[in-house]
Amino acid sequence: MSQLLDWISQPWPWYVAGPLIAMVMFSMLFFGKSFGLSANLRTMCSILGAGKSCDFFDFNWRDQMWNLVFAAGLVLGGLISYLYLGYEPAANISETTITELKAFGIENPGENVVPTEIFNWENLLSVQGIIFMVLGGFLVGFGTRYAGGCTSGHAISGLSDLQPASLLAVVGFFIGGLVMTYFILPHLLVM
Amino acid sequence: MKFLRYLLIGTVFGITLAKAEVISWFRIYEMFKFQSFHMYGVIGSAIVVGIIVIQLIKRKKLKSIDGERIIIAPKQFSWSRYIIGGTIFGLGWAMTGACPGPMFILLGNGVGVILVVIASAVLGTYVYGKIRHKLPH
């Protein structure tokens, strides 16, 4: 048992994670549901009463409870890996990435799960913090609903089903991601 | 407790993305800079196995636990909706380093301030719902 625990406490390679993600998708389909997390954001709007002022949120959110429970499982999974599975915040990122981010003033690139000099409560009082956390989150929420899905819904579920719409969405994800990473982040990181 | 199954699947998903470093902001940055194969390996192998799984579902006409045929609803095709919406999402993804799944996992992983990102994402979804009639779809 402790050997098994040691084994799963190591970082997991991509060829373990990828097939497991596909199995997660299959499990959801097998239970008669779909695999996608962004719908939860819409459900949360509905729970908060947005249905009163906007028909887009006027649905019975209780029918979506299963997906909120699925999201709660994600929090739990994060917590379990944090508490019991050899939590190691560092990611084994490439030397090139480390050198590059150091040049942008990130002190220990990859050492934490997020760049802690940007993602912290105090930084919410700065323009940089507001851009990264508030604007960044807003774009994710707005964009994912506009595009009708996120990484799990489009990149995994949609592409696995060879849907042209999902391919287009993923192309969009990359246009946005590349523009941000190559042209905008260099300015935001050094703010 | 029919919800327990979703909690369990979610937990497996959460542990997987945490242990494979998919929730790392740095992994997303590295991916968009094409400086490592890791994220492409994760997403790529998920899709390859996913394609096989879905082909099996369709060809073997597999049924769900309730005995009904598993049907994956096709998404209606349009250019503007997916390119514009997708691009907006991509901008935010590269900034926060987190898409809607990892946001929740990061919360469990002790990154409390991610709550701000989640709250903003909910707000973003709300604003989309309010103005979607005016947007090209």
Task: Report DSSP state, residue B113.
Answer: T
- Cα angle A23-B64-A47, degrees, rounded to a multiple of 5: 80
Chain A CB contacts of B66 below 8 Å: 32
| Substitution target from B19, B24, B51, B55 for chain A, most A beta carbons within 10 A | B19
Whether residue A167 is predicted with pLDDT greater than 90 in this model: the reply is: yes
**Using one digit for the tens of pLDDT, what is the confidence trace for B48-99?**
999 999 999 999 999 999 999 998 888 888 999 999 999 999 999 999 999 9
Compute the Cα dihedral for B27, B31, B33, B37 and give only its sign: positive
Does an H or E element contain B107, and which? helix B100-108
Report CA A114 to chain centroid distance, whole Å: 12
Task: Specify the 3-state DSSP secondary structure of B63.
Answer: strand
Partner A contacted by B80 (CB < 8 A): no
Reading the block at residue B46, the tokens are 């998920």
- Shortest distance between the Cα of B7 and any Cα of chain A, in A, equals 4
For residue A82, the model assigns a pLDDT of: 95
- Shortest distance between the Cα of B21 and any Cα of chain A, in A, equals 6
- Shortest distance between the Cα of A177 and any Cα of chain B, in A, equals 4
**Using one digit for the tens of pLDDT, what is the confidence trace for B112-131?**
999 999 999 999 999 999 99
Task: Report DSSP state, residue A116.
Answer: T
Partner A contacted by B115 (CB < 8 A): no
Task: Specify the 3-state DSSP secondary structure of A170.
Answer: helix
- pTM to 2 decimal places: 0.96
CB A177 within 8 Å of CB B91: yes
**For chain A, what is the radius of gyration of the CA atoms?**
19
Size of interface A-B (CB pairs under 8 A): 490
